[in-house]
Amino acid sequence: MMKSPILRTFMEVGMLIKKHYVMSSFVVLGSLLIGVISISRSCLAYSNRNYEVDSLSRFDHIVPMVIIGSGPAGLSAAVYGARAGLKTLVIRGNLPGGLLTETTWVENWPGSKHILGSDISSHLQEQAEGLGAEFLDDVVTRIDFSQWPFIIETESGLTVHALSVIISTGSTPKRLGIPGEDAYWGRGVATCAVCDAPFYKDAIVAVSGGGDSAVEEAMQLAQYAQKVILFVRGKVLRAAERMQKRLADHPSIEVRYGVQIKEVMGNDDKVTGLLVVDSDGIEKVEPVDGIFVAIGHTPNTTLFKDSLKLDNHGHIIVEGRMQETSVQGVFAAGDVEDSRYRQAGVAAGSGIKAGLDAIAFLDDIGFTKRDAQAIRLFDPAGGHDICAGVMVVRTFETFKAIVAKDKGVLLVSCRPTAMKSCNEMREVVDAYTGKATVLVVEGDAAIQVAQQYGLTKIPGCLVFEGGIYKGGSTKCTSPALMRTFANSMVPDLQSSIGA
């Protein structure tokens, strides 16, 4: 039977589809398999992140709000966290105070006509500390956002369990890496024309770079400087065409192509010139009053690249108008997430938003002040935890440090396992408020303490006065028995509390 042309065409198309379907199916199936594996890995990575406040009794070294970085974003977040009554810990990092501390005078900080960058940082820290924020001079080396509380480890070996995290690690300006650059940094070598251009009124200034940022810097400087020389290493500008066209509106800007800056020169006080070499290899000294390095910034996000969503340039991606990252409970503020403005005032504003977002997150998961009183909160000053007014330690070294520092009466309870609830010791704490300090030593450290002072088993208790050991007992199996023993060791305690 003859097939109609239309039918024959449909059959041929069908054979082609069938032929290619098998191959396509393998491709599609492979893609789906890869996707499933990726999703499975993601699910596995985040399977332990359950925001259950009731589970917090199992953890030590807890901090409700941890801020990584101490520039204007981090410090502003700390002000809001501490003011909300949350235990707030700022881990200051490698550059305490942020990039502001490397600048001189700032004239665009709201409320101050003329202020040192370092003073802005110190004022913000003083305000945060005054409200109760605590600071740790340490560097974060590892984070784990796959479980909650989040795990933060530092260079000194500390491990903290954070209920919320604000990342404000900033960005690092890329440098030329030439002689004189570091020596004159902040004294003629700069990276922010918006910040420093007014200081170069009627001066001759250089800009190094060939992208959008370099052109933007040059145009900003042109509003103040007598002359701006834009040194471009290549043969053409890499800036967008619209940016290049705008250069024509600034006759004081001169673009020089194929020029490499070899050295920043000065008179020990400020920049006076640049040693440059052109495409023919000819060197000469170019007199300038300053140079702005505009070859880009690197966001300090290496630590977070496997945990959070980043954009193509490495900035942390935040959700909409909020500061929350791709992980609930983790927030970002400042230059680490801002690729556009890079201003201290903008960073401070985003830090405030991040602080408010973190407070709202803790409220949403049901974390209350009552919960805060019943968990082991980390005390960075002492290196131990505070739980319902009780100091809790798990290392022998921390125990020894506390004994050596304490000048009053110290009541120590040694326990083989962790307290189920900090309120177990509430009776002892309340009985000796203002008269004695209560310390609980748990786990292996408790065994070491017992052995050190001749106790044959634990649980047990010890009494110290002014750092001197008064005695110990293995019969302190309850708070009431601990009080009885303490009163027998230090009679003044009994008379002072009427026990």
> What are the tokens at 73?
């974003």
Is residue 159 classed as helix, strand or coil in its secondary structure?
Answer: strand
> What are the tokens at 138?
């340490």
In the set 196, 289, 335, 385, the catalytic residue is: 196
User: Which residues are CB-neighbours of 361 under 8 A, at least 6 positions away?
Assistant: 164, 324, 328, 329, 331
43 is catalytic: no
> What are the tokens at 157?
């070996």
User: Which residues are CB-neighbours of 76 under 8 A, at least 6 positions away?
Assistant: 124, 333, 347, 348, 349, 351, 352, 355
Whole-angstrom distance, CA of residue 17 vs CA of residue 204: 69
Whole-angstrom distance, CA of residue 88 vs CA of residue 469: 35
In the set 60, 138, 195, 289, the catalytic residue is: 195
Residue 65, H or E segment: strand 65-68
b/e 208-219 (16+ beta carbons within 10 angstroms → b): bbbbbbbbbbbb
In the set 54, 60, 182, 192, the catalytic residue is: 192
Is residue 311 classed as helix, strand or coil in its secondary structure?
Answer: coil
Closest CA to 357 of 74, 81, 48: 81
Is residue 234 classed as helix, strand or coil in its secondary structure?
Answer: coil
Whole-angstrom distance, CA of residue 384 vs CA of residue 442: 12
Other C-beta atoms lying within 10 Å of the C-beta of residue 32: 10
Is residue 330 classed as helix, strand or coil in its secondary structure?
Answer: strand
Q: Please report the sign of the dihedral spanned by the C-alpha atoms of residue 191, residue 197, residue 203, residue 204.
A: positive
195 is catalytic: yes
User: Could you tell me whether strands 460-465 and 468-473 are parallel, antiparallel, or unpaired per DSSP bridges?
Assistant: antiparallel
Closest CA to 450 of 420, 412, 422: 412
User: Could you tell me whether strands 436-442 and 134-136 are parallel, antiparallel, or unpaired per DSSP bridges?
Assistant: unpaired
Is 297 within 8 Å of 335 (Cβ atoms)? Answer: yes
Q: The tokens 């000819």 sit on which residue? A: 282
278 is catalytic: no
Catalytic residue numbers, as ranges: 192, 195-196
